[in-house]
Amino acid sequence: MLDWPLLSLLIWLPIVAACVVALVGSAQPGLVRPLALVGALVVLGLSVVLYLGFDTGTSAYQFQEKAPWISAFNVYYHLGVDGFALPLIMLTALIGVLVIIGGWGIKDRVHLYMAAFLVLEGLMVGVFAAMDALLFYVFFEAMLVPMFLIIGIWGGPNRIYATIKFFLFTFFGSVFMLIALIWMYLQSGSFEITDLHSLPIDLHAQILIFLAFLIAFAVKIPMWPVHTWLPDAHVEAPTGGSVVLAAVMLKIGGYGLVRFSLPITPDAAAALDWLVIGLSLVAITYIGFVALAQSDMKKLIAYSSISHMGFVTLGLFLAFAIARNSGELKGAGLGMSGAMVQMISHGFISAAMFSAVGVLYDRAHSREIKSYGGVANTMPWFAVFAVLFFMANSGLPGTSGFVGEFMVIIAAFHANFWFAFVAATTLLLGAAYSLWLVKRVFYGEVGNQKVAGLKDLTGREWVVLTTLAAFILAVGVWPFPLIEMMEASVQDLMMHIVESKLK
């Protein structure tokens, strides 16, 4: 069974399913949703097969597929996964199913809606599985198109502004990445990512390449101060769009840092780690405060995402400071693993919170906190989920939200007391904006007639929220398998980046 081209299946099967759904759509509207669901479920099943066949003992790329693509430029259709890519692919497959179920109630051009999400899913898997830089770039850019359509067609009233902002921001960033890739191709004659990892580059060039990649990925993550597209995109996106955006697309930025910035330009990363660490700490605190001031639930969650992604960038770049501080690398792997866990965990939690807002929006058509109040009275089960999700967002131990933050804070202490000190403010800020929202939306007397008429969760909503709750709790109670999956790759990367690549 493992002879199957699993990764190709994971990429192309959802895209084929999307074509089928789009074509069937107008003729057989009744078939659209079940077909899309089956497609997404098969992909999820395949991702489990991938996990079962994955050897956690090695950092080598597995399930490799390689075929010439553009021979003239030495470009290959080359796929493979390691411990960094695998959990993100599984997350993508899971979210893929949940957005199909969550979008069941869409009325407007549902076949195109489902198709867009399936295409997006395939492309995102492609980003994580690509071992060729140009292939990565193609998936990276192509991914924007379905998301552009999702926000632009099924979005809110101000969707045009938001989509253009979203598109320009990300496109602006990735152009720099393309230049860097072409420069390196001219040096090495290869687009193979692993070749680029071993390509010696002098420090000046490394710094330029590092900055080019940083711009591309910082926009995606997003890091302060290139983050302002995210709240707008989230606010205008339909629930499913927000879920995918927060749960998976932001992670591509973090993944890019792991796959490109750190291993290709380790000396530049060592020289400029203060920049990334500084921006991360600003994201954690400053954005935490900004989140506190939001009156729109989706904006609040969007800012919370930026703040939480600060832990990802912080964790990834601690290794150099740790080596400088203590002369050894103990704790650096903890930071990197913590960053990766934080990405996966934030995938679950942000998806859960956006789904929860979607539940309310579907009923009362408002994202404003002040339109609600006392929702727990009319939707008690929903309130249980919401409290769990927002608690997880504030880093409660026993939920996945705790694991990554805890590991990164410990690692940060290995680098510098004050890094840990600033990072730990999330304990207060995260709890403040999360639980204040809970208080205003869910507690108190029934706020108004609309709230009084709310009905508790439907069956489909139960499925989505229960699934996410289960993962949030499972990773919180036993993160062992997730961390084990990544450990070999983390150790390998850590060893790689402390070796100078200067010529």
Dihedral pair phi/psi, residue 130, rounded to 5°: -65, 135
Of 2, 439, 458, 460, the one binding other proteins by CB under 8 A: 439
Q: Please, which residue, 80 or 401, has the CB nearer to other proteins?
A: 401
Q: Residue 225 interacts with other proteins (CB under 8 A)?
A: yes
Tokens of residue 10, six digits: 């994971």
CB 476 within 8 A of CB 398: yes
Of 55, 108, 445, 499, the one binding other proteins by CB under 8 A: 445
CA-to-CA dists, residue 324 to 278, 412, 415, 419, 468, angstroms? 16, 13, 8, 14, 40
In whole angstroms, the minimum distance from the beta carbon of 489 to other proteins comes to: 12
Amino acid at 1: M
Cis peptide before 481 (omega within 30 of 0): no
Of 160, 478, 500, 502, the one binding other proteins by CB under 8 A: 478
Candidates 38-46, 147-155, 181-189, 416-424; binding stretch for other proteins (CB under 8 A): 416-424
Rounded to an integer, what distance in angstroms lies between the CA atom of residue 117 and that of residue 95?
Answer: 10
Tokens of residue 121, six digits: 């899913």
CB 128 within 8 A of CB 347: no
Q: Residue 417 interacts with other proteins (CB under 8 A)?
A: yes
In whole angstroms, the minimum distance from the beta carbon of 308 to other proteins comes to: 16
In whole angstroms, the minimum distance from the beta carbon of 362 to other proteins comes to: 23
Rounded to an integer, what distance in angstroms lies between the CA atom of residue 119 and that of residue 503?
Answer: 42
Q: Between 138 and 167, how does the x/- string for binding to other proteins read (CB under 8 A)? A: ---------------------------x--
Reduced to 3 states, what is the DSSP secondary structure of residue 81? strand
Q: Between 484 and 503, how does the x/- string for binding to other proteins read (CB under 8 A)? A: x--x--xx------------
In whole angstroms, the minimum distance from the beta carbon of 407 to other proteins comes to: 7
Of 41, 175, 432, 488, the one binding other proteins by CB under 8 A: 432
Q: Please, which residue, 113 or 471, has the CB nearer to other proteins?
A: 471
Quote the DSSP letter at residue 166.
H
CB 69 within 8 A of CB 96: no
- Packing angle between helix 159-188 and helix 133-142, nearest 10 degrees? 170
Q: Residue 431 interacts with other proteins (CB under 8 A)?
A: yes
Q: Residue 447 interacts with other proteins (CB under 8 A)?
A: no
What is the gyration radius of the CA atoms in the chain, in angstroms? 22
Residues lying near other proteins in the complex (CB under 8 A) are found at: 165, 168, 225, 228-229, 286, 289-294, 330-334, 337, 374, 376-377, 387, 391, 396-398, 402-403, 406-407, 409-410, 412-414, 417-418, 420-421, 424-425, 427-428, 431-432, 435-436, 439, 442-445, 478-480, 483-484, 487, 490-491
